[in-house]
Structure 1
C-alpha cells in the first residue's frame, strides 16, 4: 500500500464515522514530519510495515473522535509548536487574536500575568514576542502547569509559574501587574449539550466549565484586581460570544468608573473584553 491509498482509505473511514476527513492529512504530516509538499511528492511511495502500523495506531484513535492534536501530541499556536495532552486545552486560532490585541496594549509594560495558563501557549508567546517582559503564569491544575513548564523549557522561555486559583497566587506574593490576560473556563454547564462531543470527551473539564453560568472565574479575577493591578494597566479576557453584555454589567457593579469594551474577532463574534485598570 502506498501513502495515497492509505490516506484515501483513512479519509473514507473518517467520513463514515462523521468526523472531519481533513484531519488525516494533518495527522500524516505531523506523524511523518513531512510538509504538505513532501506528502504529495511521496504519495505513490510504498509504505514500510513499521510506518503502516504507526499510522494505523493513530487512525484508531482518530476514529474514536480524539482530536488530531492529542493524537500527535502537539498543536501550533502563533507559529510555534506546543506539547498538548488531555491535561490541557488545545490552543485555538481565535486566541491568537486575543494575544495579538493584548500585545498592542502593553506599551512600556514590565510585568504581566496569564491567568489559567493551560499549555502555556499564551504566556510563552508573550515572552517570545516581548522578551523584556517578566511573564507570570498561574493555573489551578498541577498537571497543566507541568505541561506549560515543559513547553517553556523546550522553547527556552523564562516564565514564572504559580499554582493556585485566579489571582490568589499573585496576591500571596504581593505582585503588581502592568498587564493581565486570561482565557479562563467560561462555558456554563447549561451549554454542555451544545458542544462538540470530542471536546466533551477528551478536553479537560476543569479548563472548560465554570459555575455561575460560566462567569465564576471572571468574577473571581475582577473581584481581586485592586490587589494586583497598576493604574493604567490593560486587562484582556477571552470571552464567549454571548458574554460581553453580562461582563459589562459585572464591571459596572464593581467598578462603575471604568468603561470596558467588547471587541469582535475576524469572524464577527464577540471575543475580547478589554479595559484599562484604574483604582476605585
Structure 2
C-alpha cells in the first residue's frame, strides 16, 4: 500500500495536523460566510464589482470542497494509512493549504484585499505542489482516486479560477480601471495557465469540473457579451487540452491515471 516504513510519531503528527487544518477551514468558512468575524465574504466581493465576478451560486462549491477534504483527512489519519508514501508526500502541503485558506477568509472579510490575494496565491502554490506530488504516485484503487488525488485536484481547480477572479477584485479595490477589455485579457492569460495545468497533472477530470463550474457562473453573471464569449472559449480550451491528452495517451492504464488519478 505504498508504505515506506512502519508508522512513526512524525506520521501521527502529520495526520493530526491535516485533520486539524481541514476542520480549521470549515470553522473559518463559517465565520467568514456569516459575518461572525469581519464582513460576510459575499458582501465584500460584491462591493468590488467587475466583469469576472461569478454569480453567488458558484460559491456553493465550497461545501463540496470542505466535505471532501475532511473525508481525505479522516482517511489519511487511519493507522493503516498514515505511513503511506502518498500521504507523506502531500500531507504538509495540505496542512499549509488549510491554514492559508482560513487566513484568506479572515483577511478578505476585513477588506485586506491585497493581503488576501497574496494568501490565495500561496494557497494555489501549496495545492499545486500537493497535486504534483500526488500525480507522481500511482493510485492504489478507487479510494486513492476519490479521496486523495480527486479531492486535491478538485480543490486546486476551484482555487485556480478563484485566484484569477481575486486578482481582478484586488485591482478594483485599489481603484484600478477594470473594464471588459481588461477582463478579456485576464481570461486569455488564465486560459494558458489552465490548459497547462490540465496537461500536466493527473486526475484532470476532477480538476476540470470546478474550473468549468466557475467559468459557467462567470458567464452567467457577466453583462458583457465579449466577456461571455471569451469565457466560453476558455472553457473549450480546457476541455480540448484534456481530450487531446487523453487521446494521445497510450495504454488504458495511463488514460485512467490521467483522467481519474
Regarding TM over 0.5, the answer is no
TM-score range (shorter-chain normalised) is 0.3 to 0.5
Bigger helix share: 2
Larger-gyration structure (1/2): 1
Calculate the TM-score normalised by the size of structure 1.
Answer: 0.33
Which one scores higher on RCO, CA 8 angstroms, separation ≥ 6?
A: 2
